[in-house]
Amino acid sequence: MKVAALIPAAGSGTRLGLGPKAFVTVAGRSLLARSVAALAPHVAEVLVALPDGHALPPDLPARAITGGATRQATVHALLRATDADVVLVHDAARPFLPARVIAALCQAAQTGGAATAALPVADTLVQAGAAGPPQWGHLVPREGLWAVQTPQAFGRELLLRAHEAAARAGQSATDDAGLVARLGHAVALVPGDARLFKVTTPGDLALAQALAPVWDA
């Protein structure tokens, strides 16, 4: 069974404000290089989608294509560019990926067809009121709520079907597990890791810079 890692890295990094995020470095290594290095030992092939006009940096054990206008379009393009049986989709913007999570996802995908890393929500959740400055509206019980991360693992055919159905219906989702769930297919929740946070804002980058020396040691 051939397993491929698909890494959407074609975003523009608007919220971080430092250009395409995949090329932003943390302790001397780009977010993309960190994500590729975490996945490469566990898969037959790593396929990366980059912004138009960008080349894969040298020495990365990966193949590159050009991404799309949205993350969803990027993943759709990645899926069409591999013949693997199982795909692990992972955001380049999540550079700290433990091997344990990769192993658990591969196992779950081989038995059930779809799985995502996720963490039980620990904070109190509140729905703000609809109008005016943010104000406490009502409490959302956090029992049974999970925050979804990547990687996410799927049979390639299943995820391709989910993307094609969404494209036909003009539907979008923030991640691939959401598209597969919309088909009515079960998606297993596999314990992720707090260090798998997505580098989205300057505050996240500061956290990543603090964590990198510990992670690299």
- Residues 73-132 within binding reach of ligand CTP (CB under 6 A): 74, 91-93
22 binds, among Mg ion, ligand CTP, none (CB under 5 to 8 A by kind): ligand CTP
User: Which residue type sits at 179?
Assistant: L
Residues paired with residue 138 on neighbouring β-strands, in sequence order: 127
Question: Which residue from 18, 63, 70, 209 is in contact with ligand CTP, where contact means CB under 6 A?
Answer: 70
For the CB of residue 136, give the shortest distance to ligand CTP in the complex, in Å: 28
Sheet hosting strand 3-8, strand order edge to edge: 63-66, 45-50, 3-8, 86-89, 146-155, 114-120, 188-191
- Residues 124-183 within binding reach of ligand CTP (CB under 6 A): none
For the CB of residue 206, give the shortest distance to ligand CTP in the complex, in Å: 16
Separation of alpha carbons 30 and 22, rounded Å:
6
Lookup: tokens for 161: 């079907």
Site string for Mg ion, 6-45 (x = CB under 5 A): -----x----------------------------------
What values do phi and psi take at 154, rounded to 5?
-150, 155
**Closer of 110 and 200 to Mg ion (Cβ):** 200
Lookup: tokens for 217: 């040691």
- For residue 57, state whether it binds ligand CTP (rule: CB under 6 A): no
Residue 73 burial (C-beta neighbours within 10 Å; 0-12, 13-18, 19+): middle
For the CB of residue 67, give the shortest distance to ligand CTP in the complex, in Å: 4
**Closer of 11 and 155 to Mg ion (Cβ):** 11
Separation of alpha carbons 167 and 170, rounded Å:
5
177 binds, among ligand CTP, Mg ion, none (CB under 5 to 8 A by kind): none
Query: At CA 7, angle to CA 40 and CA 205, rounded to 5?
Result: 100
* Radius of gyration, CA atoms only, the chain: 17
**Count of residues that interact with Mg ion, criterion CB under 5 A:** 1
Contact window for ligand CTP (CB under 6 A) among 12-20, 133-141, 155-163, 179-187: 12-20
Say whether 30 sits in a helix, a strand or coil: strand
**Closer of 11 and 95 to Mg ion (Cβ):** 11
> Which residues are near ligand CTP by CB under 6 A?
8-15, 21-22, 49, 67-71, 74, 91-93, 198, 200
